[in-house]
Chains A and B, each alone.
Chain A
C-alpha cells in the first residue's frame, strides 16, 4: 500500500461528490487501509499506538483506532514517510483568538482541494451554479499558512464566477471601504452573492456597520458562510445576536446563514445543512430573524469520507445518542498525516450529524479552570 495508490483511490471517491453515500463496510475497509499505512510510515504515530499495546494489523473496525489529539499536530510535525510538506497550515491567533492555535503539515494539497470543493458546493451552493464570493478574510497569497484562506481561494477559483475577493490584510484587519463597494456593486448587478468569514470578522463588521449606520439588502438567494466562534464561553445567545446583526446589515436571513465547523488539523469540513432544508432551516423565527429555538436544533454534517464519534471524556468510549462528549473525527482526507483526530470540541450525536455544544447549562466552570483561562489571557496580553 503506497501513498500514491491510496491518494488515487481517495481522489476518485471524493470526485463522486458528497451525495453519494459510502456504506459502513466500504468506509471501514478504506479507513483501515489508511490507518495501517499511517501506522507503518509515521514513527511518532506508531509510538503513540505502541503505548497502547495496539497491533494495527489486529484492528477490525475504524472505531477501535486510537484518536490522536489535535494539539499533538502542533507539538510534532506529523507527516507520513517523513515527506516534505507541500504546505504548513497554522491557525492564527489574530483570526480565531489566542486559544485557537493549530498546525498541520500537509503533504499533498490536491487531496485537500478534492475534499473541500464538493463538500462546499453541496452545503453552500446546493442548487448549483456559481456566485460572486466575497471573503472577510486575508487572501491566500498573503496568508499562506491559513487553511481557511486557502480553502476560499480554491472555492473562488472553481465555484465563484470570477474568483473570490478578499477583504482583510495578513493581520486580519478588515478593509471595510472596499467591502462596502463590493456589496454595493453586487446589489447593482442584482445577482446573489456568497459572503464568507469568521464569526469574529462578522462581529467586527456588524459593529462597524451599526456605528456607521451602513446597511444593504443583498439580492435574494445571497448567503453567508461563517466559521468558528461558538465554543467555550460564547453561547447561542451571541449567535442569535450575530445573525440578527447580519440580517440587519446585509439583508441575509438566518436560514441563509450556514456555520462551517472546520479545523486546521482536518482537511475535510462540516456544515449545517440548512440550505438543503434540514437542521432548523425555515424555522419559526419569522422573516429573517434567528430564533434561539431554531439555532438550538441546528447540527453539522461532514462528507461521506469522514466519520464522527462522540466519546466519553475520560474513557473515550463512544457515547449513546443524546449524551455530550468529545468529538473525534476519522477523516480520510488526512491521508498524509493522521486520519483519526480527537478534538477539544464537545458535541452530542443527533440523527443526521452531530450538534456542537458550548458549556452545558447549569455547569459552572469549576474553580481554577476559570483561572486557567485568565492565566492564559494574561500571558498572551503580556507577550
Chain B
C-alpha cells in the first residue's frame, strides 16, 4: 500500500528522502515529515515571506473566490479532487463511506462564497476593512489585519474542522501552518492541493503536516515561531501547548464540547387529544407526526460524525405529558437510529470505545431486568444504543451513537440539571418548546449554552456561528484605528 503523504508544503520546498518517515495507522500507512530546526525555520520563513509579498495585499474577495472554487470542486462528483478527498476521508476518520460523503458535502458547502461572505458580514461591520482603511462605525478609520503567521493544531475528531480553521486564517490574510489530527488528515491536504491548483500564489501561504507525538519537538518549534496559535483538543493537549508557548503569543482554544437535546411535549402531541387535533396546535407538523419527525431529526443529530462532534447530543431530555411519553419516544428514537444504519452506516468502533460500549449496554440490560430503566440497541450489527434513564448521575456517552433519554416533568427543570455539564456545554438541540421557548432560551444562555437550534440543524453550525461563544474571525485580527488628525 502506498502511504498517504500527510504533508503539503509551499512550492519550492521539497523534502529529501531522509526527511520523512512512515507510520501505520488504523486508516492505513501515512508518510510524515521529519524536519531539523533549520529546515523548519526555513519553512516558517517561506510562509511569512509569501504572506508579506502576496496574501497581505490580496483583496478578501480574491481569497473568498479561490476558496470557493476549491469548495465547488470538492462538491462536484465528477471532480478528481472530491474523489481523492473521499478516498482518504472515511478510512482516516474511521467513517463509513456514506458518512464521509455526508460530512464532505456539509463541510464544503460552508466554504462556498455566499456562506463565506455572510461570515465576513457577520464578523465585521465593513468586511473591506480587511483590505484597507474604511470609515469606522462611529467615525474615524479602521483597518483589520490578521497576524502574519498562525499555527493551527487540530484534534482529528471531525473531518473538516481543520480546513475551516485554515480558511478563517486566510480570510484575515494570515499565513497558516496546520498540524491536523490523524482522524482529519486527508481533507486539509486535499484542500491545500486544490488551492494550489486554483490560486498558486495564495497557497504559498499555507502548509499542512501531520507527525506523531514522538516528534513533538517540531510542534514546539512552530509554537515558538507563530504569532498566534489556534488549538483544538482536550484539556491535556491545551495544557501541553500552554506550557510551551512564548508568553506574548496569543492562544485561541477550542476545547472538546458536548451537546444535549430538549424535546418538549409540543413535539410529542398533546396529552389526551388525538393526533389530528394536536396537529393543529402551535408547533405544526412536528405534532402531527406524534414525535416521529423529532425522533428522526434527533437520530440524525446523534448519528452524524458518529457522535464525535462538539455539536453531537449525548443526553436528550424528553418531557412528559405529550401524546407520546418519553419511554415511547425513546423507542421511536431507537427505531430511527436503526433505520439510519442503512442510509448512514456507523463507522469503525475502536477497541477502547467498544469496551466502554459493551459495559454500558450489558449493565443497562441487567438494570432493566432488575426493574430500572430501559435500553434499546443495535446488537452485534450496530453500536447505536438508547438508554432511558430515570435516576442517577448523567454522564456523557461513550460515542458511536449512544444516547440517554431522560424523562422530565417540565423542561424548565433542565437548565439547573445541567450544572455539572456547564464547562463542556455547547449546542442544545430543541423541539416542541412552543410558547415557553423564550424563557427556556434565556435560562439556557444563562447556564452557558452557546448555541440553540432545532434538531435538524444541530450537526451543521453555519460558518458565522459564535464558535464556543466567540467570533470566529474577530479573535484572529488586530485593529488599527485612525483618529482625528491621524
Cα A373 to Cα B361 in complex, Å, equals 19
A313 touches B157 (CB 8 A): no
Given known A-B contacts A70-B359, A76-B367, A371-B234, A364 and B352 have beta carbons under 8 A apart: no
From the candidates A78, A314, A368, name the one contacting B308 in the complex (CB within 8 A): A368
Q: Which residue of A lies closest to B23 (CB)?
A: A362
Which residues of A from 350 to 383 have beta carbons under 8 Å from B?
A: 357, 359-360, 362-376, 378-379, 382
Is B393 positioned at the interface, with any CB of A under 8 Å from its CB?
A: yes
**B354 to A, closest residue via Cβ:** A313
Bitwise, B193-218 to A at CB < 8 A (1) or not (0) is 00000000000000000001000000
Across the interface, B399 reaches (CB within 8 A) one of A325, A364, A369, namely A369
Q: Does A7 contact B (CB under 8 A)?
A: no
In the complex the two chains form, is B355's CB within 8 Å of A313's CB? yes
Name which residue of chain A comes closest to B24, CB basis.
Answer: A362
A239 to B455 Cα, complex, angstroms: 46
Chain A proximity mask over B408-437: 1 for CB below 8 Å, otherwise 0: 000000000000110110000000000000
**A75-B367, A366-B353 are contacts. A372–B398 as well, Cβ < 8 Å?**
yes
| Interface flag for B1 (CB, 8 Å) | no
Mark contacts of B152-190 with chain A using CB atoms, 8 A cut-off: 1 yes-contact digit, 0 otherwise: 000111100000000000000000000001110000000
Residues B366 and A68 in contact, CB atoms below 8 Å apart: yes
When distances are taken between beta carbons in the complex, the residues of chain A under 8 Å from B258 are 368, 371, 375
The answer, yes or no, to whether B395 is at the interface (CB within 8 Å) is: yes
Q: Which A residues, 16 to 73, have Cβ-Cβ distances below 8 Å to chain B?
A: 43-45, 47-48, 51, 68-72
User: Which of the residues A43, A370, A375 comes within 8 Å of B395, measured between beta carbons?
Assistant: A375
A344 beta carbon closer than 8 Å to chain B: yes
**Chain B contact residues, majority secondary structure:** mixed
A314 CA to B380 CA, complexed, in Å: 6
Q: State whether A376 and B395 are in contact (beta carbons under 8 Å apart), knowing that A51-B365, A365-B352, A371-B256 are contacts in the complex.
A: yes
In the assembled complex, how far is the CB of residue B325 from the closest CB belonging to chain A, in whole angstroms?
A: 22
For the complex, what is the distance from the CA of A112 to the CA of B397, rounded to whole Å? 35
- Contacts A69-B359, A314-B349; is A370 near B234 (CB within 8 Å)? yes
* B380 with A313: CB separation less than 8 A: no
Q: Using A313-B357, A342-B359 as known contacts, say yes or no to A72 and B366 having CB atoms under 8 A apart.
A: yes
Tell whether, in the assembled complex, residue B235 and residue A374 are in contact, meaning their CB atoms are under 8 Å apart.
Answer: yes
Say whether B307 faces chain A, with CB atoms less than 8 Å apart: yes
Verify if B312 is at the interface (C-beta below 8 Å from A).
Answer: yes
Given A367-B309, A368-B396, A375-B258, is A346 in contact with B351 using a C-beta cutoff of 8 Å?
yes
B369 proximal to A (CB < 8 A):
yes
Tell me whether B359 and A44 are in contact (CB under 8 A): no
Asked, given contacts A48-B362, A51-B365, whether A366 binds B355 with beta carbons under 8 Å apart, the answer is: no
Interface string of B21-33 (1 = CB under 8 A from A): 0011110000000
What residue in chain A is nearest B259 (Cβ atoms)?
A368
Task: Tell me if A368 and B352 are in contact (CB < 8 A).
Answer: no
Interface SS of chain A: mixed
* Residue contact A363 to B350, C-beta cutoff 8 Å: yes
Q: Is the CB of A370 within 8 A of B393?
A: no
Residue numbers in B under 8 Å from A382 (CB-CB): 420
Interface: B257 (CB within 8 A): yes
Flag whether B70 is at the interface (Cβ < 8 A). no
- Tell me which residues from 391 to 411 in chain B have a Cβ below 8 Å from any Cβ of chain A: 393, 395-399
Give the total of A residues in contact with B, Cβ under 8 Å: 50
Specify the chain A residue showing the minimal Cβ separation from B367. Answer: A75
Annotate B354-385 by CB proximity to A: 1 below 8 A, 0 otherwise: 11111111110111111000000000101100
Interface centre among B94, B155, B310 (most CB of A within 10 A): B155
Q: Are A372 and B396 in contact (CB under 8 A)?
A: yes
Q: How far is the CB of A338 from chain B (nearest CB, A)?
A: 10
Within 8 A of A (CB), among B330-362: 349-362
A180 at the interface (CB under 8 A from B): no
Chain A's closest residue to B29 (CB) is A362
Give A346 to B308 CA distance when docked, in angstroms: 22
The residue in chain B whose Cβ has the minimal distance to the Cβ of A324 is B351
Q: Are A44 and B370 in contact (CB under 8 A)?
A: yes
Q: Say whether B309 contacts A313, CB under 8 Å.
A: no
Known: A47-B369, A367-B399, A382-B420. A326 touches B354 (CB 8 A): yes
A37 to B129 alpha-carbon distance, docked (Å): 79
Whether A326 pairs with B351 at a CB distance below 8 angstroms is: yes
A369–B353 CB distance below 8 A: yes
Chain A contacts for B310, CB-based, 8 A: 367-368
Other-chain residue from A312, A366, A378, A379 in contact with B157 (beta carbon distance below 8 A): A366
Contact A44 B369 (CB under 8 A): yes
Known pairs A48-B369, A368-B157; A374 contacts B359 (CB<8 A): no
The reply to whether the CB of A316 lies closer than 8 angstroms to some CB of chain B is yes
Chain B residues near A370 (CB-CB < 8 A): 233-234, 236, 256
Shortest Cβ gap from B271 to chain A (Å): 31
Q: In whole angstroms, how far apart are the Cα atoms of A357 and B155 in the complex?
A: 23
Residue of B nearest to A50 (CB): B369
Q: Which of B233, B307, B354 contacts A314 (CB 8 A)?
A: B354
Whole-angstrom CA separation of A76 from B370 in the bound complex? 7
- CB distance A366 to B366 under 8 Å? no
A284 close to chain B: CB less than 8 A: no
CA distance A317 to B25 in the complex (A): 23
- Closest residue of chain B to A233 (Cβ to Cβ) is B236
- Indicate whether A4 reaches chain B with its CB closer than 8 angstroms: no
> Would you give the shortest CB distance from B180 to chain A, in whole angstroms?
11
Residues of chain B contacted by A47 (CB below 8 angstroms): 365-366, 368-369
A257 CB to closest chain B CB (Å) equals: 26
- Bound complex: CA A363 to CA B157 (Å): 11
Interface string of B92-131 (1 = CB under 8 A from A): 0010000000000000000000000000000000000000
Closest beta carbon of chain A to B366's beta carbon, Å: 4
Contacts of A345 in B (CB 8 A): 355
B349 in contact with A366 (CB, 8 Å) = no
Q: Which of A101-127 contact B (CB under 8 A)?
A: none
Q: Which of A69, A315, A366 contacts B183 (CB 8 A)?
A: A366
Q: A368-B308, A371-B256, A372-B398 are in contact. Are A346 and B363 (CB under 8 A)?
A: no
Shortest beta-carbon distance, A234 to chain B, in Å?
13
User: Shortest CB–CB separation between residue A60 and chain B, in angstroms?
Assistant: 20
Given A78-B366, A363-B350, A371-B256, 17 new contacts (CB under 8 A): A69-B359, A69-B366, A72-B363, A74-B363, A75-B366, A76-B366, A313-B357, A314-B354, A364-B182, A365-B352, A366-B157, A366-B350, A366-B353, A367-B399, A369-B398, A370-B234, A378-B420
Instruction: Sample 28 A-B pairs with CB under 8 A, ordered by A number.
Output: A48-B362, A51-B369, A69-B359, A69-B360, A69-B366, A71-B363, A72-B366, A75-B366, A75-B367, A76-B370, A313-B354, A314-B383, A326-B354, A360-B351, A363-B25, A366-B156, A366-B353, A367-B158, A368-B157, A369-B398, A370-B234, A371-B234, A371-B255, A372-B396, A372-B397, A375-B258, A375-B395, A378-B423
List of 5 A-B pairs having minimum Cβ-Cβ separation, nearest first: A313-B354, A367-B157, A47-B369, A69-B362, A371-B256
